[in-house]
């Protein structure tokens, strides 16, 4: 019985070396200097490597052999000891994908493996990115050449040996992944299914994945194939490249309506329809996690959409214009960092002179703010998309949004959803954050329920900014975020001289500080129980009680007594207790302690020409 390596040696030229380890000219290319190394493995198989880069399958085929001819018969001791790869069976072919390999075995079976970095193998593909077989050849081929997709690597090698461009996915039938299709973008594809139901199902799956990606798609079922036969069987029976091309040319490009299950829809409509881009879960999980960048730190995400809502004359447009200036300058807004960039501001219901006056007061001159004043054009969304494409803004503001999308019924959920979909797509695709200025409903509703109209408005946005004005004239804003932490309710202050807005602090903190100041003033130099203090302060008793405890925790009040029915807690302001080393009544300690609870408010000067954000006489906006 001759050994595989002896059979190989007899078919090669320019052989030098021993009987079990030698070099020879590679028959798969014009080899002037012998570049093929051949040796006998411990399991009796012939091991070959072409140092010029030829695939082993090409070398074997050039000698008129098959891969199985490199292996010893089953009687070989190594076969019985299971030394032919991982698991059962004899390895008859190795298909190299670059980062991993697929092993074909007899009896027919397949195993996948990856290098372990130490010269050995790990028999799984954990952490390895899957790719198409013969991908480098595919990428280097003529882009106008037809790409044939059979079911397995053996078939690909046969087609490549005929001078055709071919590829397949690892794993065989049913293992096609959506991401493989991108490697075939713009290519003319012919799918060659095996002659069984699994093969036909696989071809349908590949074709479905390539719709909208490949330039053309055909499924060619080869004639006279045996049951479970493939293109290799067809070639073995006398088929060749020219016959395959002729068969492919005779088959029409697939009608994609066969995949829709909607036979009543006109095919011309289907061909123009953009399909869903579906990604398998494992491929999605393998994608690197994307960090969310912000136009306004942790409030307005890049490529997101937000809604700024307030009742009429509360100041939402003033706030929006102040935001425009901050972003254009790259300056903080309401205490949050901003991403500097151009801004598109659509003022769809205000006077041109008033808008110019406000920007002038804010000191804006040559900032990259592009302003449209007046009604929106007929095709407003297209016009906005063109403006975003031209000026590349990081922020676009539609004030108000209903003047942009022109809804007939803002309470109709379906209509609102349809109207906002292109706005959302525009933001996601361009990376520009789009802010929609809108009104709040009547009454004292809070959160998303406060937004006027359908809940679809609230559900569509990444950030809802709710602006309110209290009965005392104090304006606040808070956010409800899809991503990140909500912005707590914050007092908004207006500088009447510059027209700029700033954050005066969290409302809860300011209220607590005001209550603490009232407690200290009510207590004076006396020692009082909590009920006595609450009675003197009046107003919100819960807030007063909280302020008392906060003052004790901060060391601004002392507490004595046991806290029992006949021995209640008694409270004394620390400023009322003389400090060692200071003259009693000097006022120094009193002034120092009281300053900790003072609220600094920006001055307010009424402006009769722009009264949208006017506040009370104390200047709090």
Tens-place pLDDT, residues 286-306 = 877 767 788 998 889 899 999
- Give residue-wise pLDDT tens across range 74-123: 544 444 444 445 555 677 888 999 889 988 887 677 888 888 888 888 88
Q: What pLDDT, on the 0 to 100 scale, is given for residue 257?
A: 57
Count Cβ atoms within 10 A of the Cβ of residue 77 and give its class: 0-12 exposed, 13-18 middle, 19 or more buried. Answer: exposed
Mean pLDDT of 379-406: 90
Does residue 329 surpass a pLDDT of 90?
Answer: yes
Does residue 37 surpass a pLDDT of 80?
Answer: yes
Mean pLDDT of 8-21: 88
Residue (of 571, 317, 611) closest to 435 by Cα position? 317
- Give residue-wise pLDDT tens across range 521-571: 889 889 999 889 988 988 888 889 898 898 988 889 999 988 888 889 999
Does residue 206 surpass a pLDDT of 80?
Answer: yes
Q: What pLDDT, on the 0 to 100 scale, is given for residue 369?
A: 93
How large a percentage of the chain has pLDDT more than 90?
A: 29
Of the spans 281-290, 343-352, 404-413, which averages the highest pLDDT?
Answer: 343-352
Q: What is the mean pLDDT of the chain?
A: 82
- Give all strands (DSSP E) within 470-541, no chain letters: 475-481, 490-494, 501-506, 527-529
Does residue 608 surpass a pLDDT of 70?
Answer: no
User: Are 274 and 212 within 8 A, CB to CB?
Assistant: yes
- Which secondary-structure segment (H or E) carries 435? strand 433-439
- Give residue-wise pLDDT tens across range 438-474: 988 887 788 778 888 888 888 889 999 998 888 777 8
Tokens representing 277 are 């881009």
Does residue 434 surpass a pLDDT of 90?
Answer: yes
How would residue 125 be classed by pLDDT, with cut points 50, 70 and 90? confident
CA 435 distance to own-chain centroid:
20
- Give residue-wise pLDDT tens across range 339-349: 999 999 999 98
Whole-number Å distance between alpha carbons of 167 and 98:
14
For the beta carbon of residue 484, count every other beta carbon within 10 angstroms: 15
Q: What is the residue whose two structure tokens read 């606040």?
A: 476
- Give all strands (DSSP E) within 261-418, no chain letters: 294-296, 300-301, 305-310, 343-347, 369-373, 395-399
Q: What pLDDT, on the 0 to 100 scale, is given for residue 43?
A: 63
User: Are 460 and 417 within 8 A, CB to CB?
Assistant: yes
User: Are 467 and 314 within 8 A, CB to CB?
Assistant: yes
């Amino acid at each position: 019985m001759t050994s595989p390596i002896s059979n190989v040696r007899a078919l090669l030229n320019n052989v030098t070396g021993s009987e079990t380890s030698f070099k020879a000219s590679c028959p798969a290319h014009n080899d002037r200097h012998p570049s093929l190394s051949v040796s006998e493995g411990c399991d009796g198989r012939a091991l070959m490597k072409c140092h010029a880069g030829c695939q082993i399958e090409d070398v074997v085929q050039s000698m008129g052999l098959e891969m199985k001819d490199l292996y010893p018969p089953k009687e070989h001791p190594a076969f019985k000891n299971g030394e032919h790869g991982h698991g059962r069976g004899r390895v008859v072919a190795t298909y190299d994908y670059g980062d991993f390999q697929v092993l074909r075995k007899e009896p027919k079976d397949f195993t996948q493996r990856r290098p372990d970095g130490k010269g050995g193998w790990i028999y799984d593909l954990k952490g390895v990115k899957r790719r198409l077989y013969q991908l480098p050849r595919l990428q280097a081929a003529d882009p106008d050449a037809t790409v044939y997709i059979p079911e397995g690597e053996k078939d690909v090698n046969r087609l490549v040996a005929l001078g055709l461009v071919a590829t397949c996915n690892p794993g065989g039938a049913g293992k096609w992944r959506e991401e493989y299709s991108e490697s075939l973008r713009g290519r003319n594809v012919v799918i060659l299914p095996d002659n069984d139901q699994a093969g036909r199902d696989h071809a349908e799956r590949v074709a479905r994945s390539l719709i909208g990606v490949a330039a053309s798609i055909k499924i060619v079922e080869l004639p006279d194939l045996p049951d479970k036969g493939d293109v290799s069987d067809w070639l073995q029976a006398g088929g060749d490249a020219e016959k395959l091309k002729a068969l492919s040319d005779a088959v029409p490009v697939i009608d994609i309506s066969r995949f829709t299950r909607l036979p009543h829809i006109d095919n011309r409509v289907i061909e123009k329809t953009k399909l869903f881009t579906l990604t398998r879960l494992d491929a999605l999980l393998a994608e690197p996690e994307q960090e969310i960048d912000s136009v306004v730190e942790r409030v307005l995400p890049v490529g997101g959409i937000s809604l700024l809502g307030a009742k009429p004359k509360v100041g939402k447009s003033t706030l929006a214009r102040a935001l425009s200036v901050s972003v254009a300058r790259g300056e903080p807004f309401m205490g949050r960092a901003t991403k500097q960039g151009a801004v598109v501001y659509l003022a769809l219901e205000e006077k041109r002179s008033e808008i110019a006056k406000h920007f002038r007061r804010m000191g804006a001159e040559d900032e990259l703010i592009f302003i449209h004043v007046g009604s929106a054009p007929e095709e407003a969304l297209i016009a906005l998309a063109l403006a975003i494409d031209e000026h590349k803004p990081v922020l676009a503001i539609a004030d108000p949004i209903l003047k942009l999308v022109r809804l007939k019924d803002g309470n109709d959920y379906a209509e609102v959803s349809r109207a906002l979909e292109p706005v959302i797509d525009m933001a996601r695709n361009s990376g520009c954050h789009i802010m929609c200025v809108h009104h709040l409903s009547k009454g004292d509703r809070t959160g998303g329920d406060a937004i006027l109209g359908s809940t679809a408005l609230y559900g569509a946005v990444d950030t809802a900014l709710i602006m309110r004005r209290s009965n005392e004239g104090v304006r606040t804003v808070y956010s409800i975020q899809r991503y990140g932490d909500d912005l707590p309710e914050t007092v908004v202050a207006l500088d009447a001289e510059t027209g700029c807005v700033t954050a005066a602090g969290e409302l809860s903190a300011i209220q607590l500080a005001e209550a603490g100041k009232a407690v200290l003033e009510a207590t004076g130099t006396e020692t009082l129980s909590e009920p006595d203090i609450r009675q003197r302060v009046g107003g919100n008793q819960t807030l007063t009680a909280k302020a008392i405890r906060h003052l004790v925790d901060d060391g601004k009040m002392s507490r004595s007594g046991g806290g029992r029915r006949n021995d209640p807690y008694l409270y004394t302001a620390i400023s009322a207790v003389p400090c060692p080393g200071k003259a009693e009544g000097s006022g120094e300690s009193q002034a120092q302690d009281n300053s900790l609870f003072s609220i600094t408010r920006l001055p307010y000067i009424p402006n009769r020409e722009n009264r949208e954000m006017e506040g009370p006489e104390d200047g709090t906006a």
